């Protein structure tokens, strides 16, 4: 069975998985999932700002806006978040903060 390739709904709330650790690096950050033992690299500081803002923002779209993502770039960030969702680094929130 293959995982769905649909991108995450930016109008929903998302957050880092509880078992994910973020380690800032000069190039961006390393994300390590202690449950799956997967490692992800974030090579874009704006994406790192989006990911860090997910827990506080009501929606992923709001996190993108707060990080300064231009409207034309939102689809690129949606695809990047989709990769993080598929790797279980980012999960949908069940309630808003």
pLDDT tens digits for range 1-45? 445 567 899 999 999 999 999 999 999 999 999 999 999 999 999
Give, in order, the Cα–Cα distances in Å from 32 to each of 11, 81, 92: 26, 15, 18
What pLDDT shows up at residue 4? 52
Residue 63 has pLDDT above 50, yes or no: yes
Residue 96 has pLDDT above 70, yes or no: no
pLDDT tens digits for range 83-93? 999 999 999 99
Selected residue with higher pLDDT from 96 and 63: 63
Residue 14 near residue 85 (C-beta atoms within 8 A) = yes
What pLDDT shows up at residue 94? 83
> Which of these, 95, 94, 58, 63, lies nearest to 78 by C-alpha position?
63
What is the rounded CA–CA span in Å between residue 69 and residue 78? 11
What is the rounded CA–CA span in Å between residue 64 and residue 73? 9
């Amino acid at each position: 069975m293959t995982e769905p390739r649909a991108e995450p709904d930016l109008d929903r709330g998302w957050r880092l998985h509880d078992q994910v650790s973020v380690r800032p690096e000069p190039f961006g950050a390393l994300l390590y999932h202690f449950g799956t033992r997967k490692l992800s690299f974030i090579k874009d500081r704006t994406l790192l700002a989006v990911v860090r803002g997910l827990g506080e923002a009501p929606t992923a779209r709001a996190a993108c806006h707060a990080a300064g993502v231009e409207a034309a770039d939102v689809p690129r960030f949606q695809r990047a978040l989709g990769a993080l969702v598929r790797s279980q680094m980012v999960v949908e929130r069940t309630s808003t903060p």
